[in-house]
Amino acid sequence: MARKFLYFVAILIILAIAAMFALRFFWDDLAELAYVPSTEFVAQAPLETNAYQDPVMWLSRPGIGLDDAARWQPAMQGEGRQLPADSEDGPGDFAVFFIHPTSYLDRSQWNAPLDDGESQRIARIYVRGMASPFNRASEIWAPRYRQATFGAFLTDSDEARQALNAAYIDVKQAFEFFVASVDEDTPIVLAGHSQGALHLLRLLREELAESPLKGRVAAIYAIGWPISVEHDLPALGFPACATASQAGCILSWSTFAEPADPSAVIEAYSGSAGFDGTMRGDSAILCTNPLTGGIGGAAPAEANLGTLIPEADYSSGQLVPGSVPARCSEQGLLLIGDPPEIGSAVLPGNNYHVYDIPLFWENVKQDVSRRVSAWSNRP
């Protein structure tokens, strides 16, 4: 009996090893099979002209009150209580436009219906964890939009491009309402993660680079989407943030624990055309170190003012200082050393994509305050 049991354990170990190799070497194929829609792209009907006047179209906006996910304030480890977001001195009035990442995983269609309950539930979690570092703002606006499904990022098909374009049209409409609603003397901060960052970069190129509105932008956080310093940055109309006190600039990083295997990300990046129409190839990726506020370099864990460690169901969490370091690699990826225990949503290759912002929650909060203050005190 004991020998049979040992055989059984050995078989389980072999199956586990085989599964790991399958995930490592066939992850792209398996993911495409699981997430890329097999249906044709169906064009979306345009939203009503005044659609974003309705508070229901926003995950965060002034007037929502207690249901506003972006206004959540986690407690610092050891405090045992949550402080209201407005209890601390801030840099003065500023407005944030935040575009949430992909929360729609269904392969039944290319764009998420606005009434899809599961994707909206996940979107609220994302806003809670990623937009809340901006909660010193006098206004935070985070639109709901008919996002492209996750599978659209696993293929270069025409359907995927159409789905992303359709999602952007919603985002652009929401942004126009945001601009019209915010006082013209109020500085603005733009932020997005992953798919949200992709749409944000298009907004910069098409709506802001040559617009008078450009002068009101205090900071841009385009996180979780690689930006080529050579082929993308010049088209955006804004420089990279070289120092922690610089205003009117772009911050960007993509996080991996070590040992890191970013091969899938680098392959997709290298094989894609930059905003100048030239292949990105091995061009440097913009890497802002969120612990220093500058380009490149390294900082120890002691410089991390607070990592947001969520509960298992992501309904709450607390800030833990000094737990995660950060350094920019030669490739332009942000490396954080040994994998931290922060949650179960780590992607293959030690990719901490989902945690790009929560890993540095308190540093981001302090960073945006400095940049808005710098914008307000400019000559």
Question: pLDDT digit string (tens) for 73-118?
Answer: 998 987 544 444 443 456 779 999 999 999 999 999 999 999 999 9
Residue 5 lies in a domain: no
Q: What is the distance between the alpha carbons of residues 349 and 152, in angstroms, rounded to a whole number? A: 20
Tell me the two tokens of residue 95. 């407005």
Q: What is the distance between the alpha carbons of residues 355 and 340, in angstroms, rounded to a whole number? A: 11
Tell me the two tokens of residue 278. 């030239």
* Beta-sheet strands, E only, within the chain: 58-60, 75-76, 95-99, 139-143, 188-193, 217-223, 250-251, 255-256, 288-289, 294-295, 298-299, 307-310, 317-320, 326-328, 334-335
Return mean pLDDT, the chain.
89
Residue 1 lies in a domain: no
Residue 156 lies in a domain: yes
**Residue pointed to by tokens 């009117």:** 248
Contact 295, 287 (CB under 8 A): yes
- pLDDT grade for 253, boundaries at 50, 70 and 90: very high
The stretch 311-317 carries a mean pLDDT of 83
Q: What is the pLDDT of residue 6?
A: 40
pTM of the model: 0.90
How many residues make up the chain in this entry?
379
pLDDT above 60 (res 25)? no
Residue 6 lies in a domain: no
The stretch 203-212 carries a mean pLDDT of 95
Residue 93 lies in a domain: yes
| Number of domains observed in the structure of the chain | 1
The stretch 136-150 carries a mean pLDDT of 97
Domain interval for residue 203: 27-376
Q: What is the pLDDT of residue 88?
A: 47
